[in-house]
Structure 1
Amino acid sequence: MNEQPHRPRDHQDSDPSGPASAQDGADALRAETARRLERSMGRLGTAAVASMEERLPWFRRMSAEDRSWIGLVAQSGVAAFVDWFRNPVRGRPAITVEVFGTAPRELTRSVTLQQTVDMIRVVIDVVEGQVDELAAPGGAMQLREDVLRYTREVAFSSAKVYARAAEARGAWDARLEALIVDALLHGDHQDGLQTWGSSLRWTQTPVIAIAGDSGEEDGNKVLDDLRGAARRAGHDVIAGMQGDRVVVVVGVGDTYPEGELPAAAAEPLAGLFGPGPVVVGPAVPDLRASGASARAAVSGLRSAVAWPDAPRPVLAEDLLPERVLQGEAGARRQLVEEVYKPLLGAGSPLLDTLSVYLEHASSLEATARMLFVHPNTVRYRLSRIAELTGHTPSDGRGSFVLRIAVALGRLDATERG
């Protein structure tokens, strides 16, 4: 019997049930499932939106426009999954662009990250609920596993979208805050302040401004610390840098009793500024009027060096004499209006008593002798002066303020005469 020569088995003679055939079978299953998914995309997107309507109360409360955008996001998510499922070997799906690229950037302000997670969960539940119907015979496990992979990728992509939106929003807010602070200090764009404030979600009134130096600290860190502390206290806040100077505008609400507002609101924030004085502008009714408070605070900061023992923080109104010496016309008018004119209106005895008292080294007896009155009369008149002006003549600081105010008032009277 003739022996057949030995011939090695060719690759084509391999077992048809081997790995290559198994892969071919899996690819065929995938292709058939992909065709079924493609035919069902519209139905799946519609079912997902209907399920959101039923399961998500926040979705029902949204505007029709935002619901429409979310519907498009859901449809895009299904379409992107089908495209990726058809050819998964191309690597990680570009979900950020394919799914979220259809929606406007403003949608991330209407829908929170948690709500997005809820939305994704609903869409995936809709697809998973129909896996057996959507998959080709024998392909249910393959489809289910890929749905889980895709769910994870969408979750990661959602977090990236919101993180980037938050980063961009933070950078935009910082630029807008700097623009607002600059406008307040220069008295520009007053008509646009309310609109700008609305874009920063500003709601609190009244408003105060605080000015101080950053010192050797990083200015951005000082701004971040001030914003964080103000927001934790429940305030609205805008902060900006001008060189080494930090200006913070704070909407404080009705937290503080009338009369205590500026100093009480600024006290917890003062320690976050760098070394040196911290000056608080007067309370104003709203953001539109806050320029006056900001300018007073900055003017007071420039002048505070003339009062080394000033408290920290110090009210800009307590620095009126120093601001006058710096040449601020508004401070001069305010000092005359609030101190000199009340004394003038109360009659000459008070003004005469104050002038003599200040000229005679705050001596009751010397003042009484010069005016030919009893020392108790001098005491009474001095107490009336303190009531009318808020400044005590016998106090060192009070006598300084009163002396400057009286001198300015007399100068104004001479100039007008």
Structure 2
Amino acid sequence: MAAGSDRSEQDAEEARNTAAIEELRRAVRALSQTAADAFGSVPWFPSLPAQTRSWARLVVGRELMMMAADIATPQPPRLRSIFSGAPLEVTGQISLDQILELIRLTVDVVLNGIDDVMDDTSASLVRGALERYGREVAFAAAAVYAKVAENRGRAGAQRQMLLLDALVDGGEEQIAERASGLFPLGVPVRVIGLLPRPDAGEHVLHEVNRTAERHRVTVCAAQRGRYVLAILPDAAAGALADLASPSRWNTEAAGSGGPLVTHHAVVTSGVVGSLSAAGPATAAVLSSLRAVPAWQGSPGLLHVDDLLPERTLCGDQQAADQLVAECHGPLASAGRGLVETVDALLAHDGSPDAAARSIPVHVNTLRYRLDRVIALTGKDPRRGRDAFALRMAFTLARTGGHAFQ
């Protein structure tokens, strides 16, 4: 008899629960509109783009429908489905904190509104479930946003890699297409490159991005083979100086594995008028990264033109042509005397007196010619590295190893 009574009470309880859930489902439309109207009281909501506001209001209706379903058949909140149809730009315009604020507001509106659309018995039955749901859905929102952020980061990294691929192998049209929404086309830029130690590529890439964030500049950076390439606005001088600091990549920062960047070198191109025209600069940076191990003891920041001799030795024809054009062409055009002067200085280890006697000319005449050599080429044959560049340029010019024949 007692068992039958218990069974009857249990059946009655289940019936009341079912009736309450059905009543909640019928009330969803009215509660959805009430919650959507309440969003207007949130200070930041009216400033969102119209598309984002519409999406948020649509979410309210869907969320309340799932809320009723989840209460009827207990299961983890299905918040993930809310985000499945949302454009990426929408989820990027509402932060996790803002989403949680809207969720809490929705739950509060429902808790306050159920008395108006349900009888007292039904309202009391679903109130506890709604409060529990509000807590669970907040945790689910955090998980969803973490996944969205992870996917967005992965997609962003892939887009940056594709843009750098276009800079190396593509044309201006392809570069512009891949840069859309990722990097501004209309600003002067520099291409920079680093040579990480073999196990440190991801770490170096992360540090490049962190540096850009710290200086609040837009950067496009990715690994390409063993190198890390990055595009920076020319105006980002502070970020470039930070990246070029030798202490930036020291042993301490890398733990026991040694410096993160070999040779402490950061290679930079010259300024390019726009990203779409940065293909040749990118090729020059890659060539310089291949060549930089040949310059032992190089300074921390290298311009691609600093490495013309090493790039030439690595088979870069453009570098060979540029080296001849800058170091031999102006002297040959100015007359035989300047070429003769450089030859003499190179043959006598940069000694003006010995070089003057070998030509022969007065030493003051030779010094005058030397000043003209420096003015025309920026190179002084008495200095070791400049002498190296001049000797290679003269050799290329005389053997036909360049385009200026």
What TM-score range do you get, normalising by the shorter chain? 0.7 to 0.9
**Correspondence for 1:92:** 76
The alpha-carbon distance between structure 1 residues 235 and 266, as it changes in their structure 2 partners (threshold 3 A), is farther
**Partners in 1 of 2:152 and 2:107 — Cα distance?**
29
**Correspondence for 1:200:** 182
**Correspondence for 1:11:** 3
Please identify, of 308-317 and 67-76, the stretch whose mean Cα deviation from structure 2 is larger: 308-317
Which of 41, 50, 54 is equivalent to 2:37?
Answer: 50
1:35 partnered with 2:6:
no
Task: Give the drift of 1:373.
Answer: 4.2
1:340 partnered with 2:313:
no
Q: Deviations over 1:351-389 (max 9, x none)?
A: 332222222221111223345544344334323322332
Which has the higher Rg, Structure 1 or Structure 2?
1
Q: Deviations over 1:83-138 (max 9, x none)?
A: 223x14x33333322x4345345532232222212222332232233132234224
Q: Which structure 2 residues correspond to residues 385-404 of structure 1 after superposition, within 5 A?
A: 385-404=373-392
TM, length-normalised to structure 1: 0.81
Q: Which structure 2 residues correspond to residues 15-414 of structure 1 after superposition, within 5 A?
A: 21=9, 23=10, 26-57=13-44, 59-85=45-71, 87-88=72-73, 90-97=74-81, 99-185=82-168, 187-201=169-183, 205-215=188-198, 217-243=199-225, 245-256=226-237, 266-267=244-245, 273-276=260-263, 278-283=265-270, 284-411=272-399
The alpha-carbon distance between structure 1 residues 339 and 147, as it changes in their structure 2 partners (threshold 3 A), is same
**Partners in 2 of 1:236 and 1:242 — Cα distance?**
19
**What's the % identity of the aligned pairs?**
32
Task: Give the drift of 1:396.
Answer: 0.6
Instruction: Provide the secondary structure at the position in 2 that maps to 1:184.
Output: helix
**Partners in 2 of 1:415 and 1:173 — Cα distance?**
41
**Partners in 2 of 1:27 and 1:383 — Cα distance?**
101
TM, length-normalised to structure 2: 0.84
Task: Give the drift of 1:318.
Answer: 1.1
**8 Å contact kept, 2:25–2:68:** yes
**8 Å contact kept, 1:48–1:74:** yes
**Partners in 1 of 2:62 and 2:275 — Cα distance?**
42
**Correspondence for 1:6:** none
Instruction: Provide the secondary structure at the position in 2 that maps to 1:285.
Output: coil
Q: Which amino acid aligns with 2:377?
A: T
State the Cα RMSD in Å: 3.2
**8 Å contact kept, 1:211–1:298:** no
Q: Which amino acid aligns with 1:333?
A: D
The alpha-carbon distance between structure 1 residues 347 and 126, as it changes in their structure 2 partners (threshold 3 A), is farther
The alpha-carbon distance between structure 1 residues 235 and 414, as it changes in their structure 2 partners (threshold 3 A), is closer
Count how many residue pairs are aligned between Structure 1 and Structure 2.
394
Task: Give the drift of 1:275.
Answer: 2.9
**Partners in 2 of 1:141 and 1:237 — Cα distance?**
55
Task: Give the drift of 1:206.
Answer: 1.5
Q: Which amino acid aligns with 1:250?
A: I
**8 Å contact kept, 2:77–2:140:** no
**8 Å contact kept, 1:238–1:250:** yes
**Partners in 1 of 2:53 and 2:356 — Cα distance?**
82
Please identify, of 228-237 and 288-297, the stretch whose mean Cα deviation from structure 2 is larger: 228-237
The alpha-carbon distance between structure 1 residues 138 and 415, as it changes in their structure 2 partners (threshold 3 A), is closer
**Partners in 2 of 1:323 and 1:100 — Cα distance?**
51
The alpha-carbon distance between structure 1 residues 323 and 169, as it changes in their structure 2 partners (threshold 3 A), is same
Task: Give the drift of 1:143.
Answer: 3.0
Please identify, of 59-68 and 163-172, the stretch whose mean Cα deviation from structure 2 is larger: 59-68
